[in-house]
Structure 1
Amino acid sequence: MKKVLWIPMVLVLALTAYLAFWPVPIQPVAWQAPKFTGLTGAYAENSKLADPATIDLEGGVGPESVTLAPDGKLYMGVIGGNILRLAAVGGAPETFVNTGGRPLGLTVDAQGNLIVADAFKGLLSIAADGKQTVLLRAGADAEVSFPNAVAVSSSGKIYFTDSSRRFPAAYWGSTNEAAMLEVFEQLASGRVMEYDPQTKHVRVVADRLSLPNGIVLSSDETRLLVSESGRYRIWQIAASADRLDLSQPSESARVLLDNLPAYPDNLSRGLNGRIWLGLAGQRNVLDQMADRPFLRQMILRIPRFMWSMPKPFGHVLAFTEDGVVVADLQDPTGQSPTTTGATETAEHLYIHNVDGKGLGWLRRQRFEAGLKP
């Protein structure tokens, strides 16, 4: 009988030791998460994004970022490395190129090259004929670690986010895994960077961001707007800044939007001065564990299938350069893929997502009535 009683005690001790001491890849630190105030005010609950029309990507999954090119076509990267293109008003998608990695942010430079932040391969330039040039390599020992979003100035300089130096996406085999580890750890190892194609010079504009994500230039190109996913905020940073430490106050940077109701992702310029933002996941129990690093380590020791995941919730919004929210579109039905951004054209609003099999869109008449002047 005594031997039988010892068995559950040993199992409990073994489980306790596992949850307390099994090695995990993060070295989490405490931080102060802003108090979540719910879907109120500018983010009041609505269903303006529910039941969008969808373009079937014919096997493509996860159009994480979408850009409208001068040729009138939409370009988007999907899982598996394909960059798809399709007519902005419809038509079947076709494969433009395959990068062999995970293409995320895309834009077009003055020469008509597609500039791509590929999380696995690096910063790429792809000519109209499909020829690919690696501008900066990505990887644990490379020039950049986790390229995510990209913007090009009129001078040709390329600005991009390097989401985590601690967790290179290629090493972890998944952008989601690398991003999750960066957010769990909160060491804020992400950067904003500049690459000059003329001189081949790369420099750090700003450092100490927790999963920097989307990026756009201000209308006068003197400032960068950057979403910091791990801290629920949007920064405004001087494009001329050099190795700016954002953990310290500075006249060269300020928080434009703070305490967002979800994780901010892609940024894209829309019409009439609007900037669109995707919110790619709801606030969750990590807020309550912000000042408890040990609990975040324990969570990583629990099998993923046992994690309690929030219901999918589609959410995109638009704001002005001075931080005024002018549109908020939500899909609370649980049917929406993970919304990572939005691309506005003269007739449609296309909804980026990181895990869906299609590209959602709304006609202008559907969302413009809710736009604030």
Structure 2
Amino acid sequence: MGVGGLLVATATYFCFWPVPAEPVSWVVQPPPGYVGAHAPNSLLSDLRKIDIGAEHGPEHMAIGPDGKLYAAMTSGNLVRMDLDGANQQLFANTRGRVLGFAFDAAGRMIVADAMKGLLAISPDGSVILLTDRLGADDPIAYANSVVTAPDGRIYFTQSSTRFGPADWGGTYEASVLDIMEQSATGRVLAFDPVSRETRIVARGLSFANGIALSADGRSLFVNETGRYRIWKIDSDANAVDVQNGSPKARILLDNLPGYPDNLMRGREGRIWVGLFRPRSPVADGLAGRPFLRKMLLRLPRSVLSTGAPYGHVFAMDEDGTVTRDLQDPEGDYPGTTGATETADRLYIHSLHATAIGWKPL
């Protein structure tokens, strides 16, 4: 094949080789940068570290009813330990990928497993399935985050109905396909443990992610990772399409400087948000160019730029006012996804860290 033929073949590949995503245009606001409440600081630098051995990626952490710290690792292991990191032990492994969990009134760990659906793990480590579909043709293919309500109801996010990690090579590949496509098929779901019915609370989210419950139980806070914003949605909403507008779903914080991941309630009314990396000017610039995004999906994933590491978590109140902001511009603790607050410590969640980072309060 001559040079001309090679060029034609290359152009044909980049323009026409099939990819599973069908990107659509969307409107992005100019990125605000790190200003105002998110002005640059180094308050997340020099974290203290808890060694976790061969584990890495403590993507989600929470304090259990036994007072122990629980962490979901990239390996699939759920690890339990004392608050200072001592006495680490394997609590359970779902044989899937746990991205979020919370504890119910009975002391069970309620798990959002990206591969398996919504699970319950008893204190002895035994695992049962609560739900993995809304109907015969409607699987819950990318459960992501979960919160339990005082009345027993369980609210959780499904990041995408288009791309499930079990079918597309894992959570990273599925998330890339979904966010690059921007078809906004993410949902907020509710499971009733009495009737065992699952219903749609809200839909139309571009990669629905972290979720938290208001103090009065009437509202849900939901991160929309693909569009850099946080929603406040009535917990009694029924299949509200957030793209069409509704008094039951309103944007609480918009145009964030990074991709929001986990949401965790802290002390004194705080809700902690993790931004796992800053926004990409390239990604923003391609919002109205779906054909170019489709071309990029034909490249090896290692070529796609994810930007320099940057640590960032912040706390807000239920009205969306940012009350604390902690950053690590050097990105020493990479892929910050959230924070778990105790009386004297703040544990920082991470997609990639090889230790658990924390700072005294």
Q: TM-score by structure 2 length?
A: 0.97
CA distance in 2, matches of 1:255, 1:91: 41
| Corresponding residue of 2:305 | 308
Q: What SS is found at the alignment partner of 2:123?
A: coil
Query: Are the counterparts in 2 of residues 275 and 318 from structure 1 also a CA contact under 8 Å?
Result: yes
Which digits, 9 at most, give the CA deviation of each residue in 1:258-313, with x for residues without a partner? Answer: 00000000000001000000001211111000000001011111223333331111
1:180 paired with 2:176, answer yes
| Counterpart residue type for residue 352 of structure 1 | H
Q: How does 1:20-39 map to 2 (within 5 A)?
A: 20-39=15-34
Name 1:12's counterpart in structure 2: 7
Alignment of 1:133 with 2:128, yes or no, is: yes
Any idea what SS the aligned residue of 2:269 has? coil
Q: How many pairs are equivalent?
A: 359
Spell out, residue by residue over 1:132-160, the C-alpha distance to the aligned partner (whole angstroms, 9 max, x if none): 11101279956311000000000000000
Q: Which protein shows a greater Rg?
A: 1
User: Counterpart of 1:70 in structure 2: which amino acid?
Assistant: P
Secondary structure in structure 2 of the residue aligned to 1:42:
helix
For structure 1, which segment, 52-61 or 262-271, has the greater mean C-alpha deviation from structure 2 after superposition?
A: 52-61
User: Is the Cα–Cα contact under 8 Å of residues 116 and 141 in structure 2 kept in the other structure?
Assistant: no
Aligned to 1:122: 117
Query: What is the Cα deviation at residue 89 of structure 1?
Result: 2.7
Q: Choose the corresponding residue for 1:170, options 138, 154, 166.
A: 166
Residue aligned with 1:115, SS: strand
Question: Secondary structure, in 3 states, of the residue corresponding to 2:2?
Answer: helix
Number of the residue aligned with 2:220: 224
Post-superposition, which runs of at least 4 consecutive aligned residues in structure 1 deviate over 6 A? none
2:303 and 2:199 map into 1 onto residues whose CA distance is: 42
2:346 pairs, out of 342, 346, 349, with 349
Counterpart of 2:260 in structure 1 is 264
Is 1:75 aligned to 2:70, yes or no?
A: yes
- Aligned to 1:207, the other structure's residue is in SS state strand
Rounded Cα–Cα distance in structure 2 between residues aligned with 1:170 and 1:66: 23
Alpha carbons 1:138, 1:146 under 8 Å: kept:
no
Deviation at 1:232, TM superposition (A): 0.4
Note if contact 2:50-2:84 (Cα within 8 Å) is conserved in structure 1.
no
Secondary structure of the structure 2 residue equivalent to 1:170: coil
| Residues 311-336 of structure 1, C-alpha deviations (whole Å, 9 max, x = no match) | 11110000000010011111111322
Aligned to 2:90: 95
How far the C-alpha of 1:11 sits from its partner, in A, is 1.3
What is aligned with 1:64? 59
Distance, in Å, in 1 between the alignment partners of 2:348 and 2:56 is 14
Q: Does 1:359 align with 2:351?
A: no
1:331 partnered with 2:334: no
CA distance in 1, matches of 2:215, 2:148: 12
Q: 1:179 to 1:308 in 2, by over 3 A?
A: closer
**Contact preservation (8 Å) 1:107, 1:114:** yes
In the alignment, the residues of structure 2 paired with residue 303 and residue 249 of structure 1 have an alpha-carbon distance, to the nearest angstrom, of 37
Aligned to 1:237: 233
Give the conservation status (yes or no) of the 8 Å contact 2:312–2:327: yes
SS at match of 1:171: coil
The CA distance in 2 between the partners of 1:194 and 1:172, in whole Å, is 25
In structure 1, the gaps of 5 or more residues are 1-5, 365-373
Taking every aligned residue pair, what percent have the same amino acid on both sides?
49
Structure 2 CA distance for aligned equivalents of residues 67 and 341 of structure 1: 11
| 1:293 counterpart residue number | 290
Q: Which has the larger displacement, 235-244 or 76-85? A: 76-85
Which one of 273, 277, 280 corresponds to residue 277 of structure 1?
A: 273
TM-score of the superposed pair, with normalisation by structure 1: 0.94
RMSD: 1.4
